[in-house]
Amino acid sequence: MPFGLVNAPATFQRLMDSIFGRLSGNGILSYLDDIVVFSDTLDGHMTSLETAFNALKNAGLKIKPKKCKFFCSEIKYLGFIVNQHGIKTDPEKTATITNWPQPKSKNDVLSFLGFCSYYRSFIKNLANVEYPLRQLTRKDTVFHWDNDLQNCFETLKRSLCSTPMLLYPDLKKSFILDIDASGYAIGAVLSQHEKYGDKEYVIQYASRILNPAEVRYSVTKRELLAIVWSLKKFRPYLLGTEFTIRTDHQPLLYIKNEKDIGGQLCRWMDLLAEYNFKIVHRKGQNHVNADFLSRTHVTCALHNAFNPNPFPSSQKELAEEQKNDPVISFFKENVKSGFCLPHLKGNDKYDILNRIRRSLIIKNDVLYRTYDSSSGRRLRYVVPESLVNSILKTFHNDMGHFAADKTKSKIVSRFYWPSMSSDIKNWCHSCIDCGQRNNPSRYTKEKMVENLSSFTWERVGVDITGPLPVSSKGFKYILVIQDYFSKFAVTIPLKRISAEYITDKFIDKFMMKYGIPLSVHSDMGTQFQSSLFQNMLSRFGIHKTNTTPYHPQSDGLVERLNRTLINSLSKIVPDDHEWDKHLSAVTFSYNVSKHSSTNEIPFEVMFKRPSYLPIDYNLRSDSENFRQYTDEEIGNIMSKILFSSSRAQRYQSSQYDKGRFSLNPEIGDFVYLFVPVDSQYTTNKLSKLWRGPYEVSEVKMPLIKIRTETGQKWIHANRCKKAQTQRCDNETAICEKKPEPPATNVTTPTYSPSHHPWESEDEEEQEENEETEDIEEEENVQDARTPYNLRPRENIRKPDKYCQEGETVFPWRGRTVTDVNEAE
């Protein structure tokens, strides 16, 4: 058959299907010229091979022996590596992704995404990660490659080069389906429990991007869509079996009890009725395997929160765990035989244990370290590395998330391992639950940024104040507009604050009276961020800027004016419902008053003439005094305003910057973001006011760009605190622990009685003094189970009241109780 024709592959595949189509149940699969034969036993394999050869012979086809491989435990097939345990990607295929060039066009992006989609079953949160690149390929999007797209491109390449192995499903066991949805993607993870133990292994990942109609679904409907889509995706595995669906959206637990449904929801419920499942709710912090859509800012791997490492429940298990640790097992054997080991310079685990070997004993085949407490000599279990995480989780996460010192006080009286002080500190400081709740001892306060305008209507600030008491005419809000150069204010009463209503008022009551400004600055209100308001500004050629969320100080001029207006209105209005009748008078009074920053009157700066009050017409008789300013006077006023405004801002900056504490973030750092709780709907007593941690992707102080659940956004550094970046194995930490070199690489020589390195007493005494910092701290640990004696033992007047004769009372003086009595 001549190749090169568009229908050649399809014709070839039809031939292979006619030959092997009915043999797929015998362990024979074919795709074009790639034929694979698999079986459980050698006899079965020989039978399947004979069947395949006969089928090829009857069809008149031949095979080339050089291209065949027989009796392999692992093969490469269609870009994958298949073995008895599962399926993984072919490193030779994915290695090409490392040198994949930067896309130069939309077609290049589509080619790259097509390669990624072939391995999408292996890539966790693929739809979420590739979302920015998918948006770039839309017809209405202009191709522009920036840093955000480059980061997304590199993330996908790293994901393809580090894919996990997907294990085979066991049809005799139940499946677990974890689902989750975000504002623009849905995803699912199909998994099962291991044959022995509670650890879960992944069978397949699945995710996709929502279409424009699905993006507008409610949260509950999107979560239900994730269930429906994942059931269709994994239908061959789940139909006819009993399985569990886990979600972090609690309303889905009662979806089967809904009665008044119709349309699309009714069709979805019919599909769900085909399956036998139960829905289980799981907290978001434990939903890490499917909840990638709300936790993508944590870019490193998290430990499986639903599978903590259990602590052994018997001494036999404790001894077995120590036996599996190469270094501890080595010391156990030497303690039993009574050997003394040489001191090795270094800081590794072997060296530390070697220094304290005289305090190591074995009891019931378990290695302990002894220490003296007020109640006598006690034993501390020497912890192997495999149990460190379990101990830290038990004494910190499961016991109230107390600080490092309190956590350490509970651990050191029971356990010992090298570097335990730093491990406890890192675990507590990198705990996400603690980071989201604890306030920093010192809040970030970045340097004030000076922002001066050069002429009127160059830049105006816009804000909405209210709600106020409903006036007799139905007004409830005030639209406040102020010029940054002259400080001239415009106020417009509003009945509602919809985007359409505010846009009309902004045009009719402001721009048609005072002119079109060059720039408009506002907060993050939905009215000002709406497409209607933004499009209106674009049509008039107005540049739009806005503050960062929850940081109104960036629009402090208008915010201060709001307070002044409300304060004045509250003092002069006789009836709260008549405030709209006095609003114009209060605004005029503000505009004809000298502003403290410019030392000029806003009205005169705006209209280039003196401002007069009604009383001035009775006091002045010369009509020539009522005139316009000359060009020279206007120039002097403009210069004075620039000088006064600059001086005022420098003074304000100097006052604001006192006690300044800068965050100094760098790209790649993690920060927590402060998000206040709306006290109108909930209390903040038990709320976590800090979100994150989020990764910093760009820095333009005092603004930083972070990766959040809904994409990247700019926020002010004053709302952030740094997340702990020390690496530890805390399952709720932002980073994994830096792997230590394997214990097998530690040089631990073997000794025999004939080659015993005997040491002198001086050398032994010297070694006793060469303890590490952790060991020195732990020697003086008070037993947590023994209460402290709070009586003043160093009583100067009667030192022997609480001390035994001969006991040192004043160790810094070298005096004993008997010495003090003789002196008296």
How far is it, in rounded angstroms, from Cα 375 to Cα 335?
26
How far is it, in rounded angstroms, from Cα 253 to Cα 277?
11
The distance between the two most distant Cα atoms of the chain, rounded to a whole number of Å, is: 123
In which band, very low, low, confident or very high, does the pLDDT at 99 lie, cut at 50, 70 and 90? confident
Residues 188 and 261 in one domain: yes
What digits encode the pLDDT tens for the residues 494-507?
Answer: 999 889 999 999 99
pLDDT at 796: 44
DSSP secondary structure string, 224-245? HHHHHHHHHHTHHHHTTSEEEE
Helix (H, G, I), strand (E, B) or coil at 739: coil
Residue 145 falls inside a structural domain: yes
Q: Report the candidate in 705, 719, 714 with the shortest Cα–Cα distance to residue 673.
A: 719
Residues 280 and 168 in one domain: yes
How far is it, in rounded angstroms, from Cα 257 to Cα 214?
23
793 CB neighbour count, 10 Å cutoff: 12
- Whether residue 172 is predicted with pLDDT greater than 80 in this model: the reply is yes
Report which of residues 725 and 78 the model is more confident about.
78
Q: Which residue has the tokens 């490659």?
A: 145
How far is it, in rounded angstroms, from Cα 655 to Cα 643?
19
pLDDT at 340: 57
pLDDT at 475: 92
Handedness of CA 336, 340, 341, 347 (dihedral sign): positive
pLDDT at 536: 92
In which band, very low, low, confident or very high, does the pLDDT at 540 lie, cut at 50, 70 and 90? very high
Q: Report the candidate in 538, 532, 579, 528 with the shortest Cα–Cα distance to residue 558.
A: 528
Residue 418 falls inside a structural domain: yes
- Whether residue 480 is predicted with pLDDT greater than 90 in this model: the reply is yes
Sheet holding 720-722, edge to edge: 711-716, 703-708, 690-700, 670-674, 720-722
Beta strands in 504-558 (DSSP E): 519-522, 543-546
Per-residue buried b or exposed e for 473-486, using 16+ beta carbons within 10 Å of the residue's own CB: eebbbbbbbbbbbb
Report which of residues 768 and 379 the model is more confident about.
379
How far is it, in rounded angstroms, from Cα 119 to Cα 529?
39
The DSSP output letter for 650 is H
Residues 101 and 229 in one domain: yes
Alpha carbon 345 to its chain centroid, in Å, reads 40
pLDDT at 350: 66
In which band, very low, low, confident or very high, does the pLDDT at 441 lie, cut at 50, 70 and 90? low
pLDDT at 630: 65
Mean pLDDT computed over 435-461: 72
What digits encode the pLDDT tens for the residues 668-708?
Answer: 788 888 777 654 444 556 667 777 788 888 888 777 888 77
Residue 739 falls inside a structural domain: no
How far is it, in rounded angstroms, from Cα 123 to Cα 629?
71
Domain that holds residue 692: 660-678+687-728
How far is it, in rounded angstroms, from Cα 363 to Cα 366?
5
370 CB neighbour count, 10 Å cutoff: 15
**E strand or H helix at 77, and its extent?**
strand 74-77
Q: At residue 122, what is the residue type? A: F
**E strand or H helix at 465, and its extent?**
strand 460-465
Residue 369 falls inside a structural domain: yes
Residues 367 and 218 in one domain: no
- Token pair listed for 675: 């998000």
Q: Phi, psi at residue 47, to the nearest 5°?
A: -65, -40
Q: How far apart are the first and last CA of the chain?
A: 117
How far is it, in rounded angstroms, from Cα 119 to Cα 205?
10
- Whether residue 95 is predicted with pLDDT greater than 50 in this model: the reply is yes
Read off the CATH number of the domain in which 693 is found: 2.30.30.850
In which band, very low, low, confident or very high, does the pLDDT at 444 lie, cut at 50, 70 and 90? low
Distances (CA, A) of 458 to 453, 558, 640, 644: 6, 15, 17, 18
18 CB neighbour count, 10 Å cutoff: 11
What's the total number of domains in the chain? 5
- Token pair listed for 346: 């270094």
119 CB neighbour count, 10 Å cutoff: 20
How far is it, in rounded angstroms, from Cα 12 to Cα 67?
19
Read off the CATH number of the domain in which 228 is found: 3.30.420.10
Identify the bridge partners of residue 367 per DSSP, sorted by sequence position. Answer: 362
Read off the CATH number of the domain in which 366 is found: 1.10.340.70
Helix, strand, coil shares, percent, the chain, to 5: 40, 20, 40
- Whether residue 735 is predicted with pLDDT greater than 70 in this model: the reply is no
- Token pair listed for 708: 């959040």
Residues 594 and 693 in one domain: no
Residue 749 falls inside a structural domain: no
- Whether residue 789 is predicted with pLDDT greater than 70 in this model: the reply is no
In which band, very low, low, confident or very high, does the pLDDT at 196 lie, cut at 50, 70 and 90? low
Residues 223 and 116 in one domain: yes
**E strand or H helix at 617, and its extent?**
helix 614-619
Query: Residue 108, class by beta-carbon neighbours within 10 Å (0-12 exposed, 13-18 middle, 19+ buried)?
Result: middle
What digits encode the pLDDT tens for the residues 577-624?
Answer: 889 888 998 999 888 888 877 778 888 888 877 777 777 666 665 554
**E strand or H helix at 382, and its extent?**
strand 376-382
What digits encode the pLDDT tens for the residues 215-232?
Answer: 888 888 888 898 998 899
Residue 101 falls inside a structural domain: yes
Residue 86 falls inside a structural domain: no
Percent of the residues in the chain that have a pLDDT greater than 90, as a whole number = 6
Residues 632 and 571 in one domain: yes
Answer with the one of 286, 302, 336 that is the final residue of a domain. 286
Residues 155 and 277 in one domain: yes
Residues 108 and 232 in one domain: yes
**E strand or H helix at 649, and its extent?**
helix 631-656
Contact 427, 397 (CB under 8 A): no
Residue 280 falls inside a structural domain: yes
- What's the full length of the chain, in residues? 824
How far is it, in rounded angstroms, from Cα 824 to Cα 815?
13
Percent of the residues in the chain that have a pLDDT greater than 70, as a whole number = 71
- Token pair listed for 441: 């001892």
Mean pLDDT computed over 525-537: 89
Answer with the one of 40, 71, 102 that is the final residue of a domain. 71
Query: How confident is the prediction for the chain on average, in pLDDT?
Result: 74
Q: Which residue has the tokens 């039809």?
A: 14
Residues 357 and 272 in one domain: no
Report which of residues 558 and 745 the model is more confident about.
558
Residues 139 and 259 in one domain: yes
Residues 487 and 542 in one domain: yes
pLDDT at 761: 37
Per-residue buried b or exposed e for 553-562, using 16+ beta carbons within 10 Å of the residue's own CB: ebbebbbebb
- Token pair listed for 336: 């039993």
Range scoring the smallest mean pLDDT among 329-338, 339-348, 432-441: 339-348
Q: Phi, psi at residue 610, to the nearest 5°?
A: -65, 155
How far is it, in rounded angstroms, from Cα 170 to Cα 192?
8
Identify the bridge partners of residue 75 per DSSP, sorted by sequence position. Answer: 82
Alpha carbon 783 to its chain centroid, in Å, reads 38
How far is it, in rounded angstroms, from Cα 625 to Cα 563?
35
pLDDT at 814: 44
How far is it, in rounded angstroms, from Cα 108 to Cα 669?
31
How far is it, in rounded angstroms, from Cα 136 to Cα 142?
7
